[in-house]
């Protein structure tokens, strides 16, 4: 019965896990050929992660591994839309995650971008409900990042800055760091990168053949902020590398092509009053930072971790009004229904809007809300 457990665990992983959870635990298992108590990680429907001890069952491993590779490649080609995304789709029929919306005044369109395995897919809309014209705005070329084995793109963001459009994205690979921790998820090359274009629909070109942030750091969910005329990249330093995930920032060159100086800590995942530590992972997650200046001039940030009800989005406020903080966490999260990874934008008619994905599993879809600016924080007014 013990040898059955890895097979059962992998099937659960396939059915319920997220794409980014799939490849590395399997590969880590396959290449760890000693008969030891190892861990397979899988994500349940409520978004929590669990592990199970097992001894390798090689007779079932190889065919199952081949099945995973073939099945995974097919299902991730265009994210949750499948290999042929529809020409038009209503918001409530979308199945997508980690989305960002740019209100582009020049064209009069809202552009929603999201991951599509090794591409970034864009839809456009006039009203935030009816979306059309699916367009791949960037696809990872062969040999990118020095030929490292790339899994997929995560969490793209689209920004208009000083007349150009910038695409911030995270690239996930299977390239293992030299330092691995026992009974821990594989620590790999995973980082945030900035690309540039003259159009919101691309083509977007990378500045370099590596992550914009230091390649020896596991970084994700990067976003853009300008302070006193200087651009900065704000990002999550992932818990997989440091256990207690953090939100940090670095200065960028004027054209956003490179970072300048050293990383600066903003806060840790454990600082959130609504946050809970993972009982199985023993970690604090930090995802999806996004900054906004309120009507009263306060600098706030939405970010996501895990609370008592699963994936949860909170709000932090900078006491100094600057990135350097200190950052004070809003006591109650702004969204706690197993969803998050949000961003904010202003609609063409001047309303503060937000988008996040929920639930945080394979059934996730983008939810768009009208938000209330309280002056020092945020509240949700209504969902579209």
Cα 77 from Cα 201, distance rounded (Å): 19
Q: Which residues of the chain have pLDDT under 50?
A: 1-78
Q: What is the pLDDT of residue 218?
A: 98
- Strand pairing category for 230-237 and 188-197: unpaired
Say whether both 21 and 97 belong to one domain: no
Cα 196 from Cα 137, distance rounded (Å): 11
Out of 11, 46, 77, pick the residue that ends a domain: 77
Return the residue matching tokens 């459009």. 165
Q: What is the pLDDT of residue 208?
A: 97
Q: What range does the domain containing 11 cover?
A: 2-77
Say whether both 35 and 93 belong to one domain: no
Are residues 117 and 22 in contact, defined by beta-carbon separation less than 8 angstroms?
no
Are residues 195 and 173 in contact, defined by beta-carbon separation less than 8 angstroms?
no
Say whether both 30 and 131 belong to one domain: no
Q: How many domains in the chain?
A: 2
Q: Return the number of other C-beta atoms located less than 10 Å from residue 327's C-beta.
A: 21
Mapped onto helix, strand or coil, the DSSP state of residue 352 is: strand
Mapped onto helix, strand or coil, the DSSP state of residue 74 is: helix
Say whether both 362 and 262 belong to one domain: yes
- 174 φ, ψ (degrees, to nearest 5): -105, 15
Residue 149 is encoded by which pair of tokens? 């084995």
Q: Which residues neighbour 171 within 8 Å (Cβ) at sequence distance 6 or greater? A: 140, 145, 150, 152, 153, 154, 190, 191, 193, 211
Mapped onto helix, strand or coil, the DSSP state of residue 345 is: strand
Return the residue matching tokens 């999201």. 114
Nearest to 128 by CA among 155, 106, 99: 99
Strand partners, 197: 165
Say whether both 210 and 321 belong to one domain: yes
* Per-residue model confidence as pLDDT tens digits over 240-276: 999 999 999 999 999 999 999 999 999 999 999 999 9
Q: Taking CA 42 as the corner, what is the angle to CA 36 and CA 46, rounded to the nearest 5 degrees?
A: 145
Say whether both 189 and 119 belong to one domain: yes
Cα 303 from Cα 333, distance rounded (Å): 10
Are residues 338 and 70 in contact, defined by beta-carbon separation less than 8 angstroms?
no
Say whether both 283 and 366 belong to one domain: yes
Out of 48, 77, 106, pick the residue that ends a domain: 77
Say whether both 267 and 225 belong to one domain: yes
Report pTM.
0.83
Looking up residue 276, the CATH number of its domain turns out to be 2.115.10.20
Say whether both 203 and 332 belong to one domain: yes
Q: Is the peptide bond before 158 cis (omega within 30 degrees of 0)?
A: no
Q: Return the number of other C-beta atoms located less than 10 Å from residue 170's C-beta.
A: 27
Q: List Cα–Cα distances, 152 to 64, 156, 172, 220, 321, in angstroms.
A: 21, 11, 6, 13, 35
- The alpha carbon dihedral of 336, 337, 338, 340 has a sign of negative
Compute the CA torsion angle 221, 354, 160, 146 (nearest 10 deg). 20
Say whether both 368 and 274 belong to one domain: yes
* Per-residue model confidence as pLDDT tens digits over 144-159: 999 999 999 999 999 9
DSSP state of 55: -
Cα 291 from Cα 27, distance rounded (Å): 36
Q: Which residues neighbour 302 within 8 Å (Cβ) at sequence distance 6 or greater? A: 288, 289, 290, 292, 313, 314, 315, 334, 342, 343, 344, 354, 378
Out of 45, 77, 109, pick the residue that ends a domain: 77
Are residues 174 and 151 in contact, defined by beta-carbon separation less than 8 angstroms?
yes
Cα 219 from Cα 360, distance rounded (Å): 20
Say whether both 51 and 112 belong to one domain: no
Say whether both 357 and 379 belong to one domain: yes
């Amino acid at each position: 019965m013990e040898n059955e457990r890895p097979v059962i665990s992998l099937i659960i992983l396939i059915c319920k896990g997220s794409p980014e959870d799939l490849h590395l635990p399997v590969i880590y298992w396959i290449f760890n050929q000693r008969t030891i108590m190892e861990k397979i990680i899988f994500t349940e429907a409520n978004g929590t992660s669990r592990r199970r001890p097992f001894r390798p069952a090689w007779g079932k491993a190889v065919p199952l591994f081949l099945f995973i590779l073939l099945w995974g490649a097919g299902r991730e080609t265009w994210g949750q839309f499948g290999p042929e995304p529809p020409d038009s789709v209503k918001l409530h029929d979308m199945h997508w995650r980690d989305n960002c919306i740019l209100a582009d005044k020049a064209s009069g369109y809202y552009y929603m971008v999201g991951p599509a395995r090794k591409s970034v897919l864009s839809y456009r809309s006039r009203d935030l409900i009816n979306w059309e014209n699916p367009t791949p705005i960037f696809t990872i070329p062969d040999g990118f990042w020095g030929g490292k084995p790339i899994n997929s793109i995560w969490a793209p963001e689209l920004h208009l800055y000083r007349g150009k459009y910038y695409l911030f994205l995270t690239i996930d690979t299977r390239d293992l760091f030299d330092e691995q921790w026992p009974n821990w998820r594989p620590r790999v090359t995973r980082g945030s990168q900035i690309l540039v274009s003259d159009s919101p629909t691309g083509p977007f070109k990378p500045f370099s053949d590596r992550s914009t942030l230091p390649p020896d750091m596991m970084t994700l969910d990067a976003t853009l902020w300008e302070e006193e005329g200087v651009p900065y990249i704000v990002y999550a330093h992932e818990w997989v590398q440091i256990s207690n995930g953090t939100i940090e920032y670095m200065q960028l060159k004027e054209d956003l092509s490179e970072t300048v100086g050293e990383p600066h800590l903003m806060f840790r995942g454990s600082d959130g009053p609504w946050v809970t530590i993972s009982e199985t992972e023993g970690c604090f997650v930090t995802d999806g930072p996004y900054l906004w200046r309120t009507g009263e001039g306060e600098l706030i940030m939405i970010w996501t971790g895990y609370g008592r009800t699963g994936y949860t989005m909170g709000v932090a406020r900078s006491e100094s009004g600057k990135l350097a903080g200190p950052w004070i966490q809003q006591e109650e999260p702004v969204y706690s229904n197993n969803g998050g990874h949000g961003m904010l934008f202003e609609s063409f008619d001047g309303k503060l809007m937000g988008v996040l994905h929920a639930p945080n599993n394979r059934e996730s879809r983008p939810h768009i809300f009208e938000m209330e600016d309280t002056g020092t924080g945020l509240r949700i007014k209504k969902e579209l």
